[in-house]
Amino acid sequence: MSVFLKGRIVDFLILAVLSISTWLATYFARKGKAREIRPIPALDAIYEGVGRAAEMGRPAFMTPGAGDVGSARVIAGLAILDVMATQCAKLDVPLLTVFGQGALGAAEMIVAEAYRREGKPELYSPGKQVLFLSGDQYARTAGEAGLFQREKPALNVFVGDFYSEMLYIGEAGARVGAMQIGGTTQQLGIPLMAITMDYVMIGEEMFAVAASITRDPIQVGSIMAQDIGKIVLFSISIIGVIAMLVGSKIMIDLLSM
Amino acid sequence: MVSKVLYRTILPYVIFMICFVPVLSNYYFDVPILRSVETELRNWSTLIGLTAMFLGLANITIYYYREIKRRKHLEWQFGVYSIALTYAWIIYGLSQGGLTSPAYNEIYVFVKGHSEAAQIGLLTFFFVTAAFRTFRAKNMQALVLLIFAFIPFIGVAPWGEQIWSGWPAFSEWILGGITMAGSRAILIAASVGLVAMVVRIVLRYEKGGLIRG
């Protein structure tokens, strides 16, 4: 009797390959063998956007959508919030954020810490900058649209969990002339972001925030591991397609082990 | 300094690993003890969630009570509304037997349903202007997007078939072939990125604000 649950062996092997390649890539990166990674324009644009907000004397806005800290997309959003809050604190730009109830505490901690780190804790207003509008998708959307009309942010960043509401929020932001940056892995959200945003992080780009911003060799090494994982998975896909074309179901049988 | 590191970094990481390892292992392995540990952890999670809900209720009551008392900001009116509505729902729900009461459920559905319809109605104006923005071909990429949006658009319209009999099949081929291939490639790459980020968190390589503590 197998100790594995049915259909989970290949899942486990893929996780093992990714974990080992992450460890190996970071090991080599520590020895100074990290490769350069391409810049992500949407991330670089965050700095430009905060600078723009400082010049215009308007606030910057960020939200990771509806999810809580259980969602990896929201964790990626929190990493971006950290970068944005630090930059806003440096340039004295008021930062407004809207979070779901599950990530509110973490967001408050990150924003307060960023202001404290920059030596400006007095600029952080608890309860006024990290906001909870509603747990309901469209009530939150309406609240954000209203917030844009009142506060007129110069920069809007949407990185996290977004669905059909993205079109409305993006449009509300575009109406007030904000520079807009988006990022999600939700298939429904990506095209809506492409329509309404100036910069879009598609798919896994949003998970590479720390590596792209800090250029830390260990972080960059883990991105190399990510590429190894992609090569493995796309090779499996190509072999599967060829096998199916010649009438063999070997890959389907293997993947369902 | 030591206690700060202990409470904000080491302790949360230890708790995370204690919860993470059995839950992850239970996904892959058929071991009864892992299953019971995972169930136990999930029960704890529910209990923590319920405790947090009570704390949240106490928190908003105190917050709005202070706002109403001071009447410094205009939000105090929303505070009256929030507190009155929250406690009215709780008292009515408890007196009627909660979710087992059809009247309680119906009031909830009708109030929420109508409120949502009103909100979406307000946002419809944004939808119209967004549609206009979508169908402006500002550059070559936008033109390609526009063309590929129009093909399935006409393909699913009843009169699409009247223009050309092969239109629905062509539209289906675009959606099921080209679009699906592209979206699956994004999905696979995103999933790999997600797993890599989790591995970074577990190995403590991730340097986002949440991880820094």
Please tell me whether residues A55 and A148 are part of one structural domain: yes
Please tell me whether residues A232 and A148 are part of one structural domain: no
The answer to whether A105 faces chain B, any CB pair under 8 Å, is no
pLDDT of residue B209: 57
The answer to whether A216 faces chain B, any CB pair under 8 Å, is yes
pLDDT of residue A244: 93
Closest chain B residue to A140, measured at CA = B119
% of chain A beyond a pLDDT of 70: 98
8 Å CB contact between A162 and A193: yes
Say yes or no for a CB contact (<8 Å) between B206 and A210. Answer: yes
Per-residue pLDDT averaged across A203-213, rounded? 78
pLDDT of residue A54: 96
Question: Does residue A1 sit within a domain?
Answer: no
Please tell me whether residues A96 and A19 are part of one structural domain: no
Q: A35 — phi, psi (to 5°)?
A: -90, 160
Mean of pLDDT over chain A: 87
Question: Which residues of chain B make contact with A233, given a CB cutoff of 8 A?
Answer: 188, 192
Task: State which residues form the domain around A29.
Answer: 9-33+217-255
Please tell me whether residues A79 and A189 are part of one structural domain: yes
Please tell me whether residues A56 and A25 are part of one structural domain: no
A13 to each of A10, A92, A229, how far by Cα in Å?
5, 48, 11
Higher pLDDT, residue B100 or A149? A149
State how many domains chain A has.
2
Question: Does residue A197 sit within a domain?
Answer: yes
Please tell me whether residues A231 and A121 are part of one structural domain: no
pLDDT of residue A127: 81
Q: How many CB atoms lie within 10 A of CB B21?
A: 13
pLDDT of residue B213: 45
pTM for this entry: 0.82
Question: Does residue A91 sit within a domain?
Answer: yes
Closest chain B residue to A217, measured at CA = B205
Please tell me whether residues A65 and A96 are part of one structural domain: yes
Question: Which residues of chain A make contact with B188, given a CB cutoff of 8 A?
Answer: 230, 233-234, 237
Q: Which residues pair with A184 in a beta bridge?
A: A202
Which of A32, A4, A44, A20 has its CA nearest to residue A205?
A44
Query: How far is Cα A169 from Cα B126, in angstroms, rounded to an integer?
Result: 9
Please tell me whether residues A118 and A84 are part of one structural domain: yes
Question: Does residue A137 sit within a domain?
Answer: yes
Please tell me whether residues A26 and A128 are part of one structural domain: no
Say yes or no for a CB contact (<8 Å) between B28 and A82. Answer: no
Q: How many CB atoms lie within 10 A of CB A58?
A: 19
What is the CA A102 to chain-centroid distance, rounded? 17
CATH number for the domain that contains residue A185 = 3.40.50
Query: How far is Cα A54 from Cα B122, in angstroms, rounded to an integer?
Result: 32
Residue B205: pLDDT above 80?
no
Question: How many H-runs (helices) and E-runs (strands) does chain B carry?
Answer: 10, 0
Question: Does residue A3 sit within a domain?
Answer: no
Q: Whose structure tokens read 């490639």?
A: B185
Per-residue pLDDT averaged across B181-193, rounded? 86
Question: Does residue A245 sit within a domain?
Answer: yes
Per-residue pLDDT averaged across A177-200, rounded? 88
What is the CA B151 to chain-centroid distance, rounded? 31
Mind listing the pLDDT tens digit for each residue in A94-138?
A: 999 999 878 888 899 899 999 999 999 988 988 889 998 888 888
Question: Does residue A192 sit within a domain?
Answer: yes
Q: How far is A57 from chain B (nearest CA, A)?
A: 23
Residue A246: pLDDT above 90?
yes
Please tell me whether residues A156 and A82 are part of one structural domain: yes
Per-residue pLDDT averaged across B37-60, rounded? 91
ipTM: 0.78
Say yes or no for a CB contact (<8 Å) between A23 and B127. Answer: no
Please tell me whether residues A173 and A222 are part of one structural domain: no
The answer to whether A30 faces chain B, any CB pair under 8 Å, is no
The answer to whether A35 faces chain B, any CB pair under 8 Å, is no
Please tell me whether residues A128 and A186 are part of one structural domain: yes
pLDDT of residue B211: 54
Say yes or no for a CB contact (<8 Å) between A3 and B29. Answer: yes
Query: How far is Cα B161 from Cα B104, in angstroms, rounded to an integer?
Result: 49
Which of A10, A22, A26 has its CA nearest to residue A233?
A10
Disruptive mutation site among A17, A110, A168, A169 for chain B (greatest number of B CBs within 10 Å): A168
Say yes or no for a CB contact (<8 Å) between A207 and B196. Answer: yes
The domain segmentation of chain B, as residue ranges, is 1-75, 138-213
Say which range, A238-242, B65-69, B72-76, B81-85, has the weakest mean pLDDT: B72-76
